Copies of this chain bind each other. A is one copy, B any other.
Amino acid sequence: MAGSSIGTILKLTTWGESHGAGIGVVVDGCPAGLPLTEADVQNYLDRRRPGQSRYTTQRSEADQAEILSGVYEGMTTGTPISILVRNTDQHSKDYSKLKDLYRPGHADFGYDMKYGIRDHRGGGRSSGRETIGRVAGGAIAAKLLAELGITVTAYTKSIGPVFAETFDSAEISRNPLCMPDASAAEMAASYLEGCMEHHDSAGGVIECVVSGMPAGAGDPVFEKLDANLAKAIMSIGAVKAVEIGDGFLAAAAAGSENNDPFIPAPADSETDKPRITKSSNHAGGILGGISDGSDIIVRAAVKPTPSIAQPQKTVTRDGRAVGLEITGRHDPVIVPRAVVVVECMTALTIADALLTGMSAKLSSVKTIWGN
């Protein structure tokens, strides 16, 4: 099936395996007139690049983005933006002994069952490198949202059992774990050292906040904004759960606690129009699938890295039980590198909801197309 595209009006199509010629993305449906440079895209790609700390693999690829189309004289033209990142470091490992084995926690077995054939080198489409296309696309979506005063910020909420308890946005980019709490980041680092000593790995939780969001984006039924966020974020490899607002905590709360009262907000300074806000945000900015103007809050649970150096049990293609030892260096945790991916999938989803929602009112249609 054609499962490599996502979005209705702003549509992302990714392609590429970790061990093919390259990885890329086509971003279709971006409005014309948005200033865009390769540096805009590169800044985001650099945030997901390996080799940045002792908790991420040392693959030395530069992941240099080349914009092949859709931008003219520094401005989007409304036509598809194709971005290519060549694979340059793909021969460093010997994958031959994985050819007929199914690694636990990986998609190897499912691929063979589905396709009957599999590029076993580096996980094929399930490689972490597949996220390059998502991040390149998300960089464009973030630029588009910035034009509307909307910002999207993701960070590490927890690593293993260690949770960020305080929030300092400046701290996110200061520690290699992308935690907004410096002391939690230190504790998490210690925890990871322990994992590495035991040839084990850790997971964690990523939180993402969308600020400056207008009310009225998203749809009431299947294209609910939270439903599309859930799909976009669950489609990131290793994500096993998604929450909006209070998420699972809401399931245990009383209605009187969970309901967010609406209250008057200061009138718009320019138009003097009355405005409405909420005095709390248990809902995470979305009610009935539609944004309510509060910050949108999403959380993703990321499982521990499945490639661990401990001996593991598995079977071969022909069903024989064997032992498996995965050699080479693997990240003890993928959470920090997934932070920007969550941010990008969120940005893409929000941007698509805004673009597809432009014709909700007849008056808007007349504004754009009427005389």
Note all chain B residues with C-beta closer than 8 A to A263.
Answer: 313, 315, 321
Any B CB within 8 A of the CB of A367: yes
Which of A69, A76, A261 gathers the greatest number of chain B CB atoms within 10 Å?
Answer: A69
Compute how far the CA of A194 lies from the CA of B173 in the bound complex, rounded to whole angstroms.
47
A110 to chain B, nearest CB (A): 3
* Pair A234/B240 contact, Cβ less than 8 Å: no
Q: Is A244's CB within 8 Å of the partner chain B?
A: yes
B200 pairs with A255, CB closer than 8 A: yes
Q: Are A224 and B234 in contact (CB under 8 A)?
A: yes
Q: Is B26 in contact with A106, judged by CB distance below 8 angstroms?
A: no
Task: Check if A2 sits within 8 Å of B6, measured CB to CB.
Answer: no
Q: How many residues of A contact B (CB 8 A)?
A: 176
Nearest chain B CB to A235 CB, angstrom units? 4
B5 contacts A314, C-beta separation under 8 Å: no
Q: Is the CB of B288 within 8 A of A107?
A: yes
Contact B111 A17 (CB under 8 A): no
Query: In the bound complex, how far is the Cα of B291 from the Cα of A94, in angstroms?
Result: 27
**Does A253 lie within 8 Å of B80, measured CB to CB?**
no
Within the complex, which residue of B67, B109, B130, B318 is in contact with A274, where a contact is CB–CB below 8 Å? B318
Contacts A9-B359, A319-B276, A362-B33 hold; do A368 and B370 have CB atoms under 8 A apart? no
